[in-house]
Amino acid sequence: MANSDTPTPEAPQTVRTSFGEQLNDLRVNLITLAGLTGEAVRGATQCIIDKNIGGADTIIKNDGRIDELKETTELKIYEIFATQQPMAGDLRVLITVLRILQEIQLSADLAVSIAKTARRLFPGELSPRFRRIIGLMGSQSVVQLEVAMDAFSDSNAEIAGALPDMDNVMDDLQKDLFRQIFSEPAVAGEDNPEQNLQFAVQLALLGRYYERIADHTVLMGAWTRFMITGEFPSRR
């Protein structure tokens, strides 16, 4: 007769259900982080267009929330590695989440850089053409981030594979920005060569920030394809 005091091992199905819930929680955290990052990019872009220094400061301060959730999610993944035995598809999910977490955090850091640029450009008045290009670059960044997350959440390799082509749009916008920098003073109505040079440098860096966010989304898509197919992203 079995001793009633003897602990009953957890049923394999219960363990598997718990593991599935943990994986789902990781997915939710990742999508939440991407959403927060998209909001930061969108908000920082609008701060530049509206010369909103207070809003830029808020975005910079809120970056700590993204960092905290990213670190918490990483620790959960390490705990799963230490206590579970993920295999095949589950293992690819964990690796993918780790890699996309890094791309999201880097994108969030770039959103902070965009917000800081709003402070550096203040109180200069950018021309309508500059504001339009910057607005388009911000929107394109957020769109690509959303597409990358759609591909991940739906496990859709085709959507993930579309991101490199979408990235060409950002490259064209960056070229438009550079052409505009060379064609007119960076600050509308300002005839100060030194100030215009400083602003031109800030705008060139701004274009780089958006371009890098777009590049990070392409890598998110590549890791999503790895999660689905097992094919490692190309190093080219």
Which tens digits make up the pLDDT trace of 196-230? 788 899 999 999 999 999 999 999 999 999 999 99
Q: What is the mean pLDDT of residues 5-32?
A: 72
The answer on pLDDT for 35 being more than 60 is yes
The model carries a pTM of: 0.87
Which residue type does 224 have? T
| pLDDT at 196 (0 to 100) | 78
Tell me: the pLDDT tens digits for 63-78?
A: 999 999 999 999 999 9
| pLDDT at 17 (0 to 100) | 54
Q: Check: CATH 3.30.1220.10 for 17-229?
A: no
| pLDDT at 184 (0 to 100) | 75
Run of H or E residues at 19: helix 12-50
Of 85-89, 188-192, 193-197, give the range with the top mean pLDDT: 85-89
* Alpha-carbon torsion angle 2, 6, 12, 15, nearest 10: 160
